Chain A
Amino acid sequence: GENVEQHPSTLSVQEGDSAVIKCTYSDSASNYFPWYKQELGKGPQLIIDIRSNVGEKKDQRIAVTLNKTAKHFSLHITETQPEDSAVYFCAAMDEKLTFGTGTRLTIIP
Chain B
Amino acid sequence: EAGVAQSPRYKIIEKRQSVAFWCNPISGHATLYWYQQILGQGPKLLIQFQNNGVVDDSQLPKDRFSAERLKGVDSTLKIQPAKLEDSAVYLCASSLGGGKNEQYFGPGTRLTVT
What is A's interface to B at a CB cutoff of 8 Å? 4, 6, 32, 34, 41-46, 49, 51, 89, 91, 93, 95-97, 99-102
- CB A104 to nearest CB in B, in angstroms, measures 9
Which one of A4, A32, A41, A96 contacts B45 once the chains associate, using CB atoms below 8 Å?
Answer: A96
Is there an interface contact between A99 and B43, defined as CB atoms closer than 8 Å? yes
- B40 located at the interface, meaning its Cβ lies under 8 Å from any Cβ of chain A in the complex: yes
Is there an interface contact between A46 and B103, defined as CB atoms closer than 8 Å? yes
- CB A14 to nearest CB in B, in angstroms, measures 25
What is B's interface to A at a CB cutoff of 8 Å? 4, 40-45, 48, 56, 91, 93, 99-100, 102-103, 105-108
Is there an interface contact between B107 and A44, defined as CB atoms closer than 8 Å? no
- Chosen A-B contacts, 11 in total, with CB atoms closer than 8 Å, are A4-B42, A43-B91, A43-B106, A44-B43, A46-B102, A91-B42, A96-B45, A96-B56, A97-B43, A99-B43, A99-B44
Is there an interface contact between A44 and B105, defined as CB atoms closer than 8 Å? yes
What residues on A are CB-neighbors of B41 within 8 Å?
99, 101-102
Is there an interface contact between A102 and B40, defined as CB atoms closer than 8 Å? yes
A-B pairs with lowest CB-CB distance, top 8: A99-B42, A43-B105, A32-B100, A89-B42, A44-B105, A99-B43, A96-B45, A43-B106
Is there an interface contact between B48 and A96, defined as CB atoms closer than 8 Å? yes
**In the complex, which of the residues B42, B48, B99, B107 has the most CB atoms of chain A within 10 Å of its own CB atom?**
B42
CA distance A64 to B93 in the complex (A): 23
CA distance A32 to B101 in the complex (A): 10
What residues on B are CB-neighbors of A46 within 8 Å?
102-103
Is there an interface contact between B56 and A42, defined as CB atoms closer than 8 Å? no
What residues on A are CB-neighbors of B48 within 8 Å?
96
